[in-house]
Amino acid sequence: MKKFPIVKSRRLRSTPYTDRIEAHGVSSYTVYNHMLLPASFKSLESDYHHLKEFVQVWDVAAERQVEITGKDSAKLVQLMTCRDLSKSKIGRCYYSPLVDQEGLLVNDPIINKLAEDRWWISIADSDVIFFAKGIASGNKFEVEIKEPNVNILAVQGPLAENLMAKLFGEEIRDLKFFNFKYFNYKEHKYFIARSGWSKQGGFEVYVEDDIAGQDLYDYLFEFGKEFNIRPGCPNLIERIESALLSYGNDFDNRDNPFEANFDKFVNLDSDVNFLGKEKLKKIQQDGITRKLMGVKIDSNKIDMYCEKTLFDDKNNIVGYVRSATYSPTFKKVIGIAMINKPYWNSKDQFKIDIDERIFVGTVCDLPFI
Amino acid sequence: MKKFPIVKSRRLRSTPYTDRIEAHGVSSYTVYNHMLLPASFKSLESDYHHLKEFVQVWDVAAERQVEITGKDSAKLVQLMTCRDLSKSKIGRCYYSPLVDQEGLLVNDPIINKLAEDRWWISIADSDVIFFAKGIASGNKFEVEIKEPNVNILAVQGPLAENLMAKLFGEEIRDLKFFNFKYFNYKEHKYFIARSGWSKQGGFEVYVEDDIAGQDLYDYLFEFGKEFNIRPGCPNLIERIESALLSYGNDFDNRDNPFEANFDKFVNLDSDVNFLGKEKLKKIQQDGITRKLMGVKIDSNKIDMYCEKTLFDDKNNIVGYVRSATYSPTFKKVIGIAMINKPYWNSKDQFKIDIDERIFVGTVCDLPFI
């Protein structure tokens, strides 16, 4: 696939770390929430192997926050997600599909509860701020909605905890998964969550002060030498192997949460009020006719820039692959695909056209095993 | 400025024309509404000179449509914009700033009125669909809101009308600016507006069928040979010289419509109901303290990837340049900047740091003369 340079502009915002990651050898970008997000450094495979063994610092400022504060903030946040947040606790992170009045997905953010009346919705790639503003206006909610200047640095990989303990002290080891707390280093205070867009363990630092973030970036590399630290970014191979879904790639506003396997985050039996609740009840009752599953394809290469159709022997449509990559672990192409119901339990093979050659593959459950 | 390749994925959607523009030599991309938008072909300057003399075909599928239909559609559309649409007519296009409940800008689309209860909001780079869905849900409007499969081809340049008349017949010459109508060519029907993101004249074809669009792309190049047709795209130099504003570059959700010079589209005296109306009245009463103006800088080069600060002699802040480019016409860098009130009438020079050298410039009115 031919490569094309991206033209930077204010509209595709740089981050406080852009100068640093470019000095550190970022080799490609994607755009996420109108912001530059690094897509590779040495190479996808080299970054992947390193991430699974050592520790990386990621510029994920593109994970923007929608801050919702005020008297009706809890009501507004609940209205946006099908996950029951009525028992949510301050200091916790909640992975929460956002759903519209049609029961269709809008985003799959982490919702951070900072106070009973203060929330940060840490979003995937869609403008949740306008969804929130629209709902708030129609309901005449007393809330303030804004995008604060928060630019996340993620520290990911099996050695992340050791590195973070060197900077922030041993107590950071006690921070539980999907919990957050403030920690100090030198003159700065940092909001740190145990979370991140990999399954290799690690932390996300929600940086509220650009200088504090740039300092932290430099400290991490200084202290990280002994852990073989490298710059990195959400890695396509690792995230597909780990079945971490991506809004816009694997699902979008044409899909409902059941189709995206979010069943355990759809709390229809609770008495909380959220958009699309009645639609989702009906969808659950009728049953879905397609859902996201894994696929393994006997190929060593695939370029994805739109969904690709899967066919059975009789040329009936099996489904559509939406994300895929060569996996060095499975020694095949693996991908995430929307699969039609007749093929959910199929051990049959499907056919797929990659660069005008036909390859065969099989459907499998997620996560890949 | 070092160039970085963009990594394609389903999330940064290709268009029905991507294969064609890549065969035709697209040389860089930007991302707009989660979709690939070409940013240059031969070079920014070569494309610019050609656009001002001949005719170009542009893949501007990234100008997505938000379709709003149903009983309350007119009410919803009006609620989203500060422009009075109460006397709007079917077959017309309305440039309409969208404003939230704080009186801040959300987008600056063209609103196409297809019927009393059917509208296409042809958007700039933000997810207006979620703003519309949010407002509709809160107000319990009876509307359907979706993104239809419409992929615009623009035909721009002084020879655009001659070319279009060859395909669609002489009657297309009678189509007035910001009017649209259906026209036929061979077996397909095309929604065509006299509009486009340049001041060189031309049309936008709202293609509703991918095959019809690909056919049209090929026909245009076949018939365009005699007009020296080339592929093109919204051109940074031409659009800044023409003072065509860009959401995300020149203004965003932190700015109000008065600051962006949209005064004539803010109809506070009409009795229509829209978000932020009271806030805008207050802003008008208090007066604004900054607004978008032109700047001319004595330099032959500028790379923009975030706003750049302008200083006066005493190092007070004059304002911030948000878009800029070298203009072969003015033989200087020209740009669009948010300028603080004390400098609106200033003939004084300002200073700006470009690549660690200090340059001088002056503030001017828009459009540039």
B149-208 confidence digits (pLDDT tens): 999 999 999 999 999 999 999 999 999 999 999 999 999 999 999 999 999 999 999 999
Average pLDDT value for residue range A49-66: 98
- Please count the CA atoms within 13 angstroms of the CA of B15 that sit on its side-chain side: 30
Partner residue opposite A137 with nearest CB, options B22, B135, B248: B135
* A13, A35 Cβ separation under 8 angstroms: yes
The amino acid sitting at B73 is S
B223-270 confidence digits (pLDDT tens): 999 999 999 999 999 999 999 999 999 999 999 999 999 999 999 999
Using alpha carbons, list the distances in angstroms from residue B215 to A214, B36, B149.
51, 20, 16
Average pLDDT value for residue range A303-322: 95
- Retrieve residue A223's tokens: 């202290």
Give the model's pLDDT for residue B166.
97
Q: Under CATH, to which class is A289-369 assigned?
A: mainly beta
Residue B214: how many other CB atoms lie within 10 Å: 17
* B251, B105 Cβ separation under 8 angstroms: yes
Cis status of the peptide bond prior to A257, with omega within 30 of 0? no
- Retrieve residue A208's tokens: 């509220």
Give the model's pLDDT for residue B2.
83
* B114, B206 Cβ separation under 8 angstroms: no
> Quick one: what percent of chain A has pLDDT higher than 70?
100
**A108 φ/ψ angles, rounded to the nearest 5 degrees:** -135, 70
Those residues whose C-beta lies under 8 Å from the C-beta of residue B365, and which sit 6 or more positions away, are B293, B294
Average pLDDT value for residue range B52-77: 98
User: Cβ of A239 under 8 Å from any chain B Cβ?
Assistant: no
B74-86 confidence digits (pLDDT tens): 999 999 999 999 9
User: Cβ of B23 under 8 Å from any chain A Cβ?
Assistant: no
* A161, A175 Cβ separation under 8 angstroms: no
**Span of A197-206, B216-225, B346-355 with lowest mean pLDDT:** B346-355
Size of the A and B interface in Cβ pairs below 8 Å: 185
A6 with B31: Cβ contact below 8 A: yes
The answer to whether residue A259 scores a pLDDT higher than 90 is yes
The answer to whether residue B1 scores a pLDDT higher than 80 is no
- Retrieve residue A149's tokens: 């200047």
Long-range contacts of B168-174 (CB under 8 A, 24+ apart): B168/B192, B172/B203
- Retrieve residue A357's tokens: 């050659």
B313-356 confidence digits (pLDDT tens): 999 999 999 999 999 999 999 999 999 999 998 777 999 999 99
**Span of A187-196, A236-245, B155-164, B343-352 with lowest mean pLDDT:** B343-352
Give the model's pLDDT for residue A2.
83
CA of A54 vs chain B CAs: smallest distance (Å): 25
Give the model's pLDDT for residue A347.
74
Tell how strand B28-32 and strand B230-232 pair up: unpaired
Using alpha carbons, list the distances in angstroms from residue A87 to A123, A269, A270, B316.
21, 14, 11, 51
Q: In chain B, what are the domain boundaries?
A: 18-63+150-240, 289-369
Q: If contacts are CB pairs under 8 Å, which of residues 32-91 in chain B contact chain A? A: 34, 39-40
- Retrieve residue B369's tokens: 């003369």
Those residues whose C-beta lies under 8 Å from the C-beta of residue A76, and which sit 6 or more positions away, are A68, A132, A135, A136, A139, A141, A143
Q: Which of chain B's residues have a Cβ under 8 Å away from the Cβ of A108?
A: none
Mean pLDDT, chain A, rounded, equals 97
One CATH from 3.50.50.60, 3.60.15.10, 3.30.1360.120, 3.30.2130.30 for B18-63+150-240: 3.30.1360.120
Give the model's pLDDT for residue A348.
77
Nearest CA in chain B to A252: B11
Give the model's pLDDT for residue A303.
92
A1-36 confidence digits (pLDDT tens): 789 999 999 999 999 999 999 999 999 999 999 999
SS (H, E, C) A90-104: CCEEEECCEECCCCC
Give the model's pLDDT for residue A245.
98
A336-355 confidence digits (pLDDT tens): 999 999 999 877 799 999 99
> Quick one: what percent of chain B has pLDDT higher than 90?
97
Give the model's pLDDT for residue B164.
98
Long-range contacts of A112-116 (CB under 8 A, 24+ apart): A112/A180, A112/A193, A112/A206, A113/A85, A113/A88, A113/A89, A114/A90, A115/A90, A116/A74, A116/A90
The answer to whether residue A369 scores a pLDDT higher than 90 is no
Q: How far apart are CA B4 and CA A3, in angstroms?
A: 9
- Helix ranges restricted to H, A169-276: 210-224, 236-241
Whole-model pTM? 0.98
